[in-house]
Amino acid sequence: MKFNKVLSLISFVAVIIFSIIPHVGIKVVDEVFRSYYFGFPARWLGYHRNGQFSFQIFNLVFNFLIFYFLFSIINKFLKRILRVQR
């Protein structure tokens, strides 16, 4: 499988955008201490009330690979549709 730079950039941007959408990428875990977790489908960044951050690199890579896989399927599907129309 060839690694496409454009798809990887789009996937990375999609991971960031989906992470900051309220009710999709942002999850408030504790109402008292206000712990926020960002990421969709896997939570890869956490912010806690006292200024601490938590970062899960494997969840970030997982999200990237999910979006990369989805965009590559969409790309192949669109290429096939455009080729049939010609």
Question: From CA 83, how far away is CA 86, in angstroms rounded?
Answer: 6
Residue 3's pLDDT is 73
Residue 86's pLDDT is 65
Residues 6+ apart with CB under 8 A from 21: 40
**3-class secondary structure, 26:** strand
Residue 51's pLDDT is 87
Write out the residue range of the structural domain in which residue 24 sits: 5-85
Which pTM value belongs to this model?
Answer: 0.83
The domain total for the chain is 1
With beta carbons less than 8 A apart as the criterion, state whether 56 and 48 touch. Answer: no
Question: From CA 32, how far away is CA 26, in angstroms rounded?
Answer: 16
Question: From CA 45, how far away is CA 51, in angstroms rounded?
Answer: 13
Which of the residues in the chain have pLDDT under 50? none
